Structure 1
Amino acid sequence: ERATAGESKIVELEEELRVVGNNLKSLEVSEEKAQQREEAYEQQIRSSTGKLKEEETYEMSIRQQSQRLQEAEARAEFAERSVQKLQKEVDRLEDDLLGEREKTHLLQEEVETTLKDLQSM
């Protein structure tokens, strides 16, 4: 009877060992799949990190270009104001020149009239 009980115990333990072995294989497969997922996630993280760095670089470039654009616009506005001031000065000087030419013309006429008057005397 002890032998039968021993054999029965052996069969029971062998069955338990088989179940444990199957569970171990199942866990190993699950672990392998988990490692594959982990590697895929790590690759996604590396890829996302690279993209994030690229985006940060692009954003910095955009900020720099935006700053340059603002500076260029400010210079352009200043130049436009300067041109307007200079154009006003040119207009004033042209008006002064026309006035002086008119005065010169009137003086020439007066001199000619005076010379004629002197010659007729």
Structure 2
Amino acid sequence: MSVDGLTGCLLLPSSGCSQVSSLEEELRMIGENMKTLEVSEEKALWREEKFQTEIKLLMVKLKGADRKQEYGEKNINKLNHRIDEIEDDIVRQKLKVQKVANEMDDTFDDMMVNY
């Protein structure tokens, strides 16, 4: 009990002295609760800063992944276009080969008939 509390106890009746003691105990508990809350607040702020940093890092990674995905899609489109060109070229070459084969058949047939 503080000196003021003791002085108050001497001046007040016994019920007042116990009331002062009770108030001092309550004040002490409130002070401890405030300290606990301050520590909790500091921890919460630290966690919030940590999470914000992590969010920023994840956003940077997401942007990088988006750029890679866009680049990949462009490459896929280019490759699909190139595949289409090659397939068209194969069809054209097959038609040329078929035409030459038909001309050779006609030539051999002419040779057989004429010679």
Question: What's the TM-score once normalised by structure 1's chain length?
Answer: 0.72
Letter in 2 for 1:102: L
Structure with larger Rg: 1
Alignment of 1:61 with 2:54, yes or no, is yes
The aligned amino acid for 1:80 is: E
Aligned to 1:90: 83
Name the structure, 1 or 2, with higher relative contact order (CA <8 Å, separation 6+).
2
TM-score, normalised on structure 2? 0.76
Q: SS of 1:84's equivalent?
A: helix
Q: Could you say what secondary structure the match of 2:46 adopts?
A: helix
Q: Following TM superposition, where does structure 1 have runs of at least 4 consecutive aligned residues deviating by more than 6 angstroms?
A: none
Which amino acid is 2:95 matched to?
E
1:79 to 69, 72, 78: 72
Identity %: 23
Q: Deviations over 1:4-54 (max 9, x none)?
A: xxxxxxxxxxxxxx878337x69x745554433222211100011111111
1:120 to 2:109 alignment: no
What residue ranges of structure 2 are gaps of 5+ in the alignment?
1-6
- Structure 2: distance between partners of 1:86 and 1:45: 61
Runs (5+) with no aligned partner, structure 1: 1-17
Which residue number corresponds to residue 105 of structure 1?
98
